[in-house]
């Protein structure tokens, strides 16, 4: 069996799992930034894996060490997106779906204007995707306007 020539082979990444840079570019806190890795909890037990107390949130926010907080690191797409996109293209990806960390655009959720550093990051990522000579296509249902 073979795929049609026009088949769009691709992949997806989630901002909270890939970006890292939890304390860079003006990003605000998210739930994922304070949830610890719990190796002894069954991965199927979502409630146990994601439960955190108010005290736990405060302790996590005071802890600058990302060691216990896997999603603070991700693959560090924030700092290495050009290399990562090149690797995706090398793998033959024609499309890439990525999510946006709204805490990077609206750090507290109360802003009336987006965080310019966050907007610039996503604009740079989209520009890199659309300019890639290896044909990573940008399918963009959202546009940013200033």
Q: What is the pLDDT of residues 23-32, one digit of tens each?
A: 999 999 999 9
Prediction pTM value: 0.83
- What digits encode the pLDDT tens for the residues 39-98? 899 989 999 988 899 999 999 999 998 888 888 888 999 999 999 999 988 888 888 888
CA nearest 19: which of 137, 135, 124, 139?
124
- What digits encode the pLDDT tens for the residues 119-142? 999 999 988 888 765 555 555 444
Residues 22 and 33 sit within 8 Å (Cβ to Cβ): yes
Domain boundaries, the chain: 10-30+72-131
Rg (alpha carbons) of the chain, rounded to whole number = 17
Collapsed DSSP state (helix, strand, coil) of residue 55 = helix
- Torsional sign, CA 115, 111, 14, 24: positive
């Amino acid at each position: 069996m073979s795929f049609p020539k026009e088949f769009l082979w691709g992949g997806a990444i989630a901002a909270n799992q890939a970006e890292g840079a939890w304390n860079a570019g003006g990003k605000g806190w998210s739930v994922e930034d304070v949830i610890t890795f719990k190796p002894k909890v069954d991965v199927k037990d979502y409630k146990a894996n994601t439960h955190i107390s108010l005290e736990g949130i405060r302790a996590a926010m005071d802890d600058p060490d990302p060691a216990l907080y896997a999603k603070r690191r991700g693959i560090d797409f924030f700092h290495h997106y050009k290399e990562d996109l090149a690797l995706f293209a090398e793998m033959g990806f024609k499309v890439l779906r990525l999510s946006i960390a709204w805490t990077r655009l609206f750090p507290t959720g109360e802003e009336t204007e987006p965080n310019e550093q966050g907007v610039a990051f996503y604009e740079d990522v989209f520009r890199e995707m659309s300019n890639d000579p290896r044909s990573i296509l940008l399918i963009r249902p959202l546009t940013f306007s200033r």
